[in-house]
Amino acid sequence: MTNKIVAIQGNHPSELKPLTDTSIFLAIEAQRLKYKIFYYEPKDLSIINDKVVANGYYLEFNYSDKRFFKILRHQKIELTKCKYILIRQDPPFNLEYISTTYILDKIKSKVKIINNPTSIRNISEKLYSASFQKYMPDTIFTKDMNEINKFFSKNKKMIIKPIHSFSGNDIHLFQNKINAKLVTNFIRKHGHIMCQKFLPKIKFGDKRVFIINGKVCGAISRVPKKGSFLSNMSKGAIPIPVRLTKIENKISNLIGKNLKKNDVYFSGIDFIDQKLNGDINVTSPTGLKSFYDLTNINLAKVFWKGLKAWAIYPNNKKDLYSHLLR
């Protein structure tokens, strides 16, 4: 019988921010459901004697303590002993990240992994949005400087982003002229990049939409700090409650259904001024704790209830949805 263990693959817990972190929020709800939490870092994942193992530690998270986690004991375990594995480390989506998905592929038929490691590997978070470009501001993906110059001449204001980074890191805005040297070095560092027409309404905030098992479950807005165009909370943006417009809801449901077909259970997508901004987060979606603080709606409960229902009714959608509505 499978133990009631949830394994979390993530950055060291000391790097997490308890006031906003989604991994902690999900883990605390799992603890309430009597699951043990086994935590390990990607570097400690291995295949030994044809078994997928991890060196890590059992721990407990606690919002009330000054130190928000307590390591109970260190241990190496075979990950097929777990009920669930949550892939929660931050990008960049580099070769080390990709290697962990290949290792976890070996056991995905024996333990439920969120998100499916094959799907994480196949869905480049920004490039995946190319399938939905009619809902986006003018955007190109390229490393061709001539194309970038033409794009800037056309749009006058442009941002550039790495395709495989996160949290607003290394994003640049060009308004009056393009800095060719900066862009050239940027391409040398990142390879293909994303160039997008700048949307000035970002100053009023973006919208982060939470999708669980293909369903739109809620959203928050993140308002950049004064003088910034970055809506990431890690860059000082402030979360506020928000409702989706009709078009945002339509696009979110469309993408949610597409992600579910690709076996992505939990994701986050972002809008600016009712336009999809190209960030479809399937590696380590964030924002559930902030959503709870703003609305008192606990989507961690929805997350775990959905997984339990999936285990009971994996092939019966009617019974699955009936279970979720109880």
Half-sphere exposure of 218 (CA within 13 A, CB side): 20
Number of domains in the chain: 3
Q: Are residues 319 and 212 in the same domain?
A: yes
pLDDT at 1: 45
Q: At 89, which CATH number?
A: 3.40.50.20
Q: At 167, which CATH number?
A: 3.30.1490.20
For residue 154, what are the domain limits? 138-198
Half-sphere exposure of 202 (CA within 13 A, CB side): 21
Q: Are residues 190 and 207 in the same domain?
A: no
pLDDT at 64: 82
pLDDT at 176: 87
pLDDT at 126: 84
pLDDT at 256: 97
Q: Are residues 192 and 209 in the same domain?
A: no
pLDDT at 168: 56
Scan for tokens 């996160």, then name that residue.
166
- For residues 219 and 203, give the distance between their C-alpha atoms in angstroms, rounded to a whole number: 18
Q: Are residues 118 and 194 in the same domain?
A: no
Give the dihedral sign, CA 146/151/152/158.
negative
- For residues 68 and 13, give the distance between their C-alpha atoms in angstroms, rounded to a whole number: 9
What does pLDDT average to in each consecutive run of 10 residues of the chain (326 residues)? 86 93 97 98 98 98 88 98 96 87 97 96 87 96 96 95 73 92 93 95 96 97 89 84 97 97 96 93 93 98 88 50 48
pLDDT at 287: 95
Q: Are residues 315 and 279 in the same domain?
A: yes
The residue out of 122, 147, 162 marking a domain boundary is 122
Q: Are residues 35 and 98 in the same domain?
A: yes
